[in-house]
Chains A and B, each alone.
Chain A
Amino acid sequence: DARVTQTPRHKVTEMGQEVTMRCQPILGHNTVFWYRQTMMQGLELLAYFRNRAPLDDSGMPKDRFSAEMPDATLATLKIQPSEPRDSAVYFCASGLTSGRYEQYFGPGTRLTVT
């Protein structure tokens, strides 16, 4: 049963600390997406990749956030320095550039910045 995996599932950190979230997309998928979900804003797209190349990161605060895909099995999202307003659930999703283009979501990382 192929799934997107994310680590850690929960993270509590203090303001100013670096946070790294990791995602393993479904094997064979060639698009990877990072989303942030809050009660107020809903699900917001931060960045996404096709064939490991970044296509759009306009949803991301560039001064503190960075997203990379060092290889086809790993995507990372880093926040440095973290701030309390970054507290949210961060989802990774993967998909294919064919068919319905549906996205499969990982379980998310619940981040709390104090």
Chain B
Amino acid sequence: GQNIDQPTEMTATEGAIVQINCTYQTSGFNGLFWYQQHAGEAPTFLSYNVLDGLEEKGRFSSFLSRSKGYSYLLLKELQMKDSASYLCAVRDRGGAGSYQLTFGKGTKLSVIP
């Protein structure tokens, strides 16, 4: 099975930088995803890490350390529209479980002026 932990809520100021952490425990790791979900909407894909290191995509970056079971999502130059929930999800390795994702409960980010 898998266990995924991330903070429930965070607040940050417009224009600032925020880091959302995610720790996981899994029997077989095969990739970590970050999704963004605005209130009342569907989750949308943000980033994917399968090797250690930093993946950068515009204002968003995601980092992975497989040995520590740890990832973070970094949001720079925060905008009001970044207020949303951010979901960390882990994919298992092998067997029927290799296609499914296990999601954390999400971190609700509030960006204030």
Please list the residues of chain A having a beta carbon within 8 angstroms of any beta carbon in chain B.
31, 33, 41-45, 48, 50, 55-56, 91, 95, 97, 100-108
Which of B12-20, B37-45, B60-68, B74-82 forms contacts with chain A?
B37-45
Q: Interface residue tally of chain B, by bracket?
A: 20 to 34
Which chain A positions have C-beta within 8 A of B31? 100-101
Please list the residues of chain B having a beta carbon within 8 angstroms of any beta carbon in chain A.
31, 33, 41-45, 48, 87, 91, 96-106
Min distance, Cβ B48 to any Cβ of chain A, angstroms: 5
The CB with the most chain A CB atoms within 10 A, among B101, B104, B105, is that of: B101
The A-B contact count (CB < 8 A) is 48
- Interface residue from A43, A48, A105 paired with B99 (Cβ < 8 Å): A48
18 contacts between A and B (CB under 8 A): A33-B100, A41-B105, A43-B43, A43-B87, A43-B105, A48-B100, A55-B96, A55-B99, A91-B42, A97-B99, A100-B31, A100-B48, A101-B91, A101-B98, A101-B99, A103-B101, A105-B43, A106-B42
Which chain B positions have C-beta within 8 A of A100? 31, 48
Apart from A56-B100, A105-B43, what are 14 other A-B pairs with CB-CB below 8 Å? Answer: A31-B99, A42-B87, A42-B106, A45-B102, A56-B97, A91-B42, A100-B48, A101-B91, A101-B98, A101-B99, A102-B45, A102-B48, A105-B44, A108-B42
